[in-house]
Amino acid sequence: MSVGKYKTNVEPYLDLIKSMRIDGHTEEQIHKYLDIGHSAWNNYKIAHVELVEALKMSKIGLVSKLEQTLFQKALAGNPTLLIFALKNLAPKKWADRKVIDPSGFSEFFSSMKDFENNVGK
């Protein structure tokens, strides 16, 4: 792995990398654009904290941008996005599956045993 390629093809473009990631580009698209191979890219992420931080911060920016878009579209009345947002923001109330309290089963089985015992009498 050549340090020179990091110094020439990555380090000067950390702001561009952040911007591309926020705009939704994948890491693969970014390293190909910078003419960096997959293995070298992964090695650079291990060796250069500033690259990892740029990717991490830009991912946070991307998620924030997507959340804002989701929120705006949900407020505009998109029913699918409204359902999605509610299921994620209030899962106890809006989740598809409800958690069943197992304590109710012991009461049920107890009453069934009582019933069985009384049927034969």
d(CA 51, CA 59): 12
Q: How many helices (H) and strands (E) does the chain have?
A: 8, 0
Higher pLDDT, 104 or 81: 81
State if pTM tops 0.75. Answer: no
d(CA 26, CA 59): 10
pLDDT band at 1 (very low <50, low <70, confident <90, very high): very low
